[in-house]
Chain A
Amino acid sequence: MLESALVVELLKLLAAGMLLVSFAMLATRRIQRLISLFAWQGAILFLSTLLVAHDAGLTELYFSAALTLALKVVALPLILHKLVRRLDAQQDSERLVHIPATMLAGLVLVILAFGLAQPISQLATTILRHTIGVALAVILLSFLMMITRRKAVSQVIGFLAMENGLFFAATSATYGMPMVIELGIALDLLVAVYILGIFFFQIREQFDSLDLHHMESLKEE
Chain B
Amino acid sequence: MILTLWSSSAAVFAADRELATAVSIVGCWLLLAAAGMARPQNIRFVARLLFPLGAVASVALFCVAGGFLLSGRTPETMTIALGLPDLPFHLRLDALSAFFLMVLGLAGAGISTFAAGYFRSGEGTAPGLLGLHYHIFMASMALVMLADDAYLFLVAWETMALASYFLVTSQHRMAEIRRAGFLYLLMAHIGAVAILLGFGVMQGGGWQFTFDAMRGAALTPLRATLAFTLAMAGFGAKAGVAPAHVWLPEAHPAAPSPVSALMSGLMLKTAIYGLLRVTFDLLHVRFWQWGLAALVLGLFSGLFGAIFAAVQTDMKRLLAYSSIENVGLIVAAIGLAILFAASRMPLFAALALAAALLHVLNHSLFKSMLFLTTGSVMHATKQRSLGKLGGLIHSMPWIAAFALVATLAIAGLPPLNGFVSEWLLLQAFLFTPRLPQPFVNMLVPLGAAAMALTVALAAYVMVKFYGIVFLGRPREAALKEAHRSNWLERVGLAWLAAGCLAIGVEPQLALHAVGGVTGMLVGQTVAASPSAWRIAPIAPEQASYSGWIFLATILCVFAIAYLAVRLLTHGRARRSPPWDCGYPWQDARMQDTAEGFGQPIRLFFGSFFWMQVHLPSPADEKPSYRVHIEDRFWRALYRPVAAGVQRAADAVSFLQSGRLAIYLLFSFLTLLVLLVFAL
Contact = CB atoms under 8 A, between A and B. Distances in A.
Do A and B make up one complex? yes
Interface of A: 112, 115-116, 119, 136, 140, 143-144, 146-150, 155, 212-213, 215-220
B656 A143 contact: no
B643 interface: no
Interface string B635-674: 0000000000000000000001111110011011001100
B619 interface: no
B532 interface: no
A150 B679 CA distance: 32
A119 B676 CA distance: 12
B676 A116 contact: yes
B217 to A, nearest CB: 39
B658 A215 contact: yes
Interface string B49-60: 000000000000
Nearest to B663: A147
A140 B667 CA distance: 11
Contacts of A136: 675
B659 A216 contact: yes
A219 B660 CA distance: 11
Nearest to A148: B661
A147 B664 contact: yes
Given A116-B678, A143-B671, 15 more contacts: A115-B679, A116-B675, A116-B676, A119-B679, A136-B675, A140-B672, A146-B664, A147-B665, A149-B661, A150-B661, A155-B660, A213-B659, A215-B658, A215-B660, A216-B658
Contacts of A140: 668, 671-672
21 contacts: A115-B679, A116-B676, A116-B678, A119-B679, A140-B668, A143-B667, A143-B671, A144-B668, A147-B661, A147-B664, A147-B665, A147-B668, A148-B661, A149-B661, A213-B659, A216-B657, A216-B659, A217-B658, A218-B658, A219-B656, A219-B657
Contacts of B675: 116, 136
B674 to A, nearest CB: 10
Nearest to A139: B671
Contacts of A150: 661
A106 B25 CA distance: 63
A144 B659 CA distance: 15
A219 B672 contact: no
Nearest to A143: B668
Nearest to B667: A143
Nearest to A136: B675
A63 B561 CA distance: 94
A112 B676 CA distance: 9
A195 to B, nearest CB: 17
A206 B401 CA distance: 57
A97 B366 CA distance: 70
A139 B671 CA distance: 11
A22 to B, nearest CB: 15
Contacts of B656: 219-220
Nearest to B653: A220
Q: Which of A115, A140, A144, A147 has the most CB of B within 10 A?
A: A147
Give the 4 A-B CB pairs with smallest separation, nearest first: A219-B658, A216-B658, A147-B664, A212-B660
Nearest to B664: A147
Q: How large is the interface on B (under 10, 10 to 19, 20 to 34, 35 or more residues)?
A: 10 to 19
A147 B676 CA distance: 20
Nearest to A120: B678
Given A143-B664, A147-B665, A112 B672 contact: yes
A130 B373 CA distance: 78
Nearest to A215: B660
Centre residue among B659, B661, B671 by max chain A CB count within 10 A? B661
Interface string B262-291: 000000000000000000000000000000
A169 to B, nearest CB: 12
A149 B658 CA distance: 15
Nearest to A213: B659
Contacts of A220: 656
B658 to A, nearest CB: 3
A88 B679 CA distance: 46
Q: Which of A146, A149, A218: most chain B CB closer than 10 A?
A: A146
A150 B664 CA distance: 12
Contacts of B668: 140, 143-144, 147
A115 B672 CA distance: 12
Contacts of B658: 215-219
Interface string B13-42: 000000000000000000000000000000
Contacts of A146: 664
A140 B657 CA distance: 23
B1 to A, nearest CB: 26
A11 to B, nearest CB: 24
Contacts of A155: 660
A116 B659 CA distance: 29
Contacts of A112: 672
B645 to A, nearest CB: 15
A148 B661 CA distance: 7
Nearest to B659: A216
A112 B678 CA distance: 13
Nearest to B662: A147
A112 B679 CA distance: 11
Contacts of A119: 679
Contacts of B657: 216, 219
A36 B664 CA distance: 24
A207 B233 CA distance: 48
Interface string B168-187: 00000000000000000000
A71 to B, nearest CB: 24
A220 B650 CA distance: 11
Nearest to B678: A116
A218 B675 CA distance: 32
Contacts of B678: 116
A217 B660 CA distance: 12
B630 to A, nearest CB: 28
A220 B675 CA distance: 33
A116 B671 CA distance: 12
A148 B660 CA distance: 10
Nearest to B671: A143
Contacts of A218: 658
A49 B350 CA distance: 75
Nearest to A116: B675
A155 B659 CA distance: 13
A27 to B, nearest CB: 17
A68 B672 CA distance: 27
A116 B679 contact: yes
Contacts of B664: 143, 146-147
A218 B658 CA distance: 7
A217 B657 CA distance: 10
Contacts of A217: 658
A219 B679 CA distance: 37
Contacts of B659: 213, 216
B659 to A, nearest CB: 6
A74 B668 CA distance: 29
Contacts of B672: 112, 140
A115 to B, nearest CB: 7
Nearest to A155: B660
The interface centre, meaning the residue of B657, B664, B667, B671 with most chain A CB atoms within 10 A of its CB, is: B664
A143 B666 CA distance: 11
Question: Among the interface residues B660, B672, B676, which one has the most CB atoms of the partner chain A within 10 A?
Answer: B660
Contacts of A216: 657-659
A147 B679 CA distance: 24
B127 to A, nearest CB: 30
Contacts of A215: 658, 660
Nearest to A159: B664
B655 to A, nearest CB: 11
A214 to B, nearest CB: 10
Contacts of A149: 661
Interface string B348-368: 000000000000000000000
A153 B656 CA distance: 23
